Amino acid sequence: MSSNKPKFILQEEIDTYYFKDNQKNLDVRFNRIAFIFFLFFLISIIYLIHLSYLGSRGLKSITPKNYISFEKIQRANITDRNGSFLAKSVNSIDIGINPIEVINKEKLLLNLKYIFPNKDYNSIRLSLEGNKFFWFEKKISEENYEKIMMLGDKAIQPRENLRRVYPQKNLFSHIIGQIDDDNVGISGLENSLDADLKKNINSVKLTVDKDIQFLIREELLKFNKIFNAIGSAAILMDIHNGEIISIISLPDFDPNKRERIVDVNYINRATKGIYELGSVFKTFTLAAAFNEGIINSETKFKNLEKSIKCGKNTISEYDKNIPENLTAEEILIRSGNIGSVRIGQAIGIEKLKKFLNDLNLLNAIKFDIEEIGKPITFNWGKCKLATTSYGHGITTTILQLANAYAILGNGGYKINPTLIKKESYSKKERILKKDISKNLIQILRKIVTTKEGTASLANVSGYEVSGKTGTAEKIKDGGYSRKKINTFASIFPASNPKFSLVVMLDEPKINSDYIYHYRDGSGIKYKGTPFNTAGWTSVEVAGQIIEKIGPILATKYIQVY
């Protein structure tokens, strides 16, 4: 007989019942978890084995026939004199696809889209339809490399490649140059040192200084805008060993972009451009006369005409107020054309020609890069002697000008300009007699310090700048245009010469708003460029440059010679 009374169960029975039920569930869940864990473990082992296999076999078994081992395409780094990288090699991998090896093109395209969603797959599909190997991804990232190689498609073929990086970007573009995609140097030092760089023994150390290069380039960029020049160049050289501390040509370019540059305005104006440079050549005429013992600083030239005829042409003084009686040094200080002609005529063709040749001004100069200009040859005669004496009708490069002034400043010893840092330098040949160098520098100093001189804007306090200006019209179609080349060639400090600095502006214009600050302590300011001459353009730039780099030179380049 059933009863409606509540049925009581002991707690012990409840605990026993549920314990048995949970034990069964636990066994089932444990078996499932163990199975899943084992499955993941197995997949992980397979994945690791696959990665190990790819790593151990390298790239040989999956690369095309034209694969080049990275060991064979190394390239030495290039640094400045302080060890800062100017060109550096890093490893990269390019991914190519061989359509002949593709088994399922649609599947491959689908997988590639998943990894590289932003590519143009219409063109890739067309490439797959052909039978020619093509590059799919250059400089692939490590993450995407692992993903694409995990596809396991033998049509995907990697190539280990050299990636050349230029950390300073535009700063040394004209001298460092570039390489092509086959690791071949095509310009600058990358070209001229191609074989040495491929040996990859040690980094190649240059003579240039990154910090000084930066400061000079900033000033050139600024004044290109101020004087609206189409380009400019500057070279700073150690006059005792020919080491180039800075060499700049503007406009420049970023070699990291690997662009093919065809615009002639990007020519290396410091080494490749050939220019008539004007009155900076008058210093060489005076130096040659001193060296031949024909005249001295105080030799008087009387009754100097304001103009003279030479053949069909007339040679005139730029400054109509120049006195008719001048000493030899006054002719250079006042930049007299007629006086310089008289000095040149006293020297004669053969001796002046030899002297200019000794200064390495008449032929292409030997240098570390191949982008070197060759001065235009000409036939010497009485009129050519006259015009050459004051810098007209004779061409050379900015590099050769800087080198020649360095020789005049170092005591008259021949040097070769160099970009490659050396442990020692060969014994130098002397081409100037004793004390002539010292005498010339004192005269050049007066061009900067006296009111009669043309370079007072370069009289930077504490640096004893000496130098000569040059203003010349540009050659055009066998004649001359009204466009200018304005140059200032300097040596400093005058009391203990160490550096030559040449600054050139290509087609500068006057600026009516620019304010000049005279450095004579008077506090005088002058607004507006009165004349488009070197004394008002290139000299101002040089003065600003020396103010910026002077403290660095004084602390880093003090040396007893």
Rounded to an integer, what distance in angstroms lies between the CA atom of residue 220 and that of residue 260? 24
**Is residue 499 predicted with pLDDT exceeding 50?**
yes
**Is residue 318 predicted with pLDDT exceeding 90?**
no
pLDDT class for 498, splitting at 50, 70, 90? very high
pLDDT for position 43: 72
Neighbours of 236 (CB within 10 A): 26
Nearest by Cα to 230 from 188, 269, 259, 260: 269
User: What six digits make up the tokens of 235?
Assistant: 């070279």
DSSP state for residue 267 in the 8-state scheme: S
325, 331, 333, 335 alpha-carbon torsion, rounded to 10° = 120
pLDDT for position 27: 54
**Is residue 518 predicted with pLDDT exceeding 90?**
no
Q: Averaged over 118-138, what is the pLDDT?
A: 90
Rounded to an integer, what distance in angstroms lies between the CA atom of residue 446 and that of residue 487? 18
Q: Averaged over 59-84, what is the pLDDT?
A: 65
Q: Averaged over 79-84, what is the pLDDT?
A: 96
487, 492, 498, 500 alpha-carbon torsion, rounded to 10° = 0
Domain at 74-101+108-205: CATH code: 3.90.1310.10
Q: Averaged over 522-538, what is the pLDDT?
A: 93
**Is residue 290 predicted with pLDDT exceeding 70?**
yes
Question: Could you read off the pLDDT of 187-238 as tens digits, one per residue?
Answer: 999 999 999 999 877 899 999 999 999 999 999 999 999 999 999 999 999 9
pLDDT class for 30, splitting at 50, 70, 90? low
Rounded to an integer, what distance in angstroms lies between the CA atom of residue 178 and that of residue 75? 12
> How many angstroms from the chain centroid is the CA of residue 333?
34
pLDDT class for 52, splitting at 50, 70, 90? low
**Are residues 61 and 54 in contact, defined by beta-carbon separation less than 8 angstroms?**
no
Question: Could you read off the pLDDT of 357-408 as tens digits, one per residue?
Answer: 999 999 999 999 999 999 999 999 999 999 999 999 999 999 999 999 999 9
Rounded to an integer, what distance in angstroms lies between the CA atom of residue 166 and that of residue 162? 13
Query: Burial level of 402, CB count in 10 A (0-12/13-18/19+)?
Result: buried
> Which of 142-156, 219-233, 274-288 is least confident?
142-156
pLDDT class for 19, splitting at 50, 70, 90? very low
DSSP state for residue 304 in the 8-state scheme: -
- Looking at the chain, the whole-number percentage of residues with pLDDT higher than 70 is 87
- pTM (2 decimals)? 0.81
Rounded to an integer, what distance in angstroms lies between the CA atom of residue 220 and that of residue 542? 9
Rounded to an integer, what distance in angstroms lies between the CA atom of residue 348 and that of residue 308? 18
**Are residues 447 and 432 in contact, defined by beta-carbon separation less than 8 angstroms?**
no
SS (H, E, C) 241-253: CCEEEEEEEECCC
Rounded to an integer, what distance in angstroms lies between the CA atom of residue 96 and that of residue 155? 8
pLDDT for position 522: 74
> Domain extents for the chain?
74-101+108-205, 212-556
**Are residues 426 and 418 in contact, defined by beta-carbon separation less than 8 angstroms?**
no
Neighbours of 191 (CB within 10 A): 17
Residues in the chain: 561
**Is residue 75 predicted with pLDDT exceeding 80?**
yes
Query: Which residue is associated with the tokens 């500057």?
Result: 234
Nearest by Cα to 234 from 437, 446, 490: 490
**Are residues 519 and 534 in contact, defined by beta-carbon separation less than 8 angstroms?**
no
pLDDT for position 202: 82
Rg (CA), the chain: 36
Class of the CATH domain delimited by 212-556? alpha beta
Nearest by Cα to 322 from 301, 306, 344: 306
Q: Averaged over 489-510, what is the pLDDT?
A: 97
DSSP string, 420-454: B--S--PPPPB-S-TTHHHHHHHHHHHHHHSTTSS
Rounded to an integer, what distance in angstroms lies between the CA atom of residue 323 and that of residue 331? 10
Query: Which residue is associated with the tokens 């043309």?
Result: 454
pLDDT for position 425: 86
Strand partners of residue 119:
none
Averaged confidence pLDDT in the chain:
88
**Is residue 431 predicted with pLDDT exceeding 60?**
yes
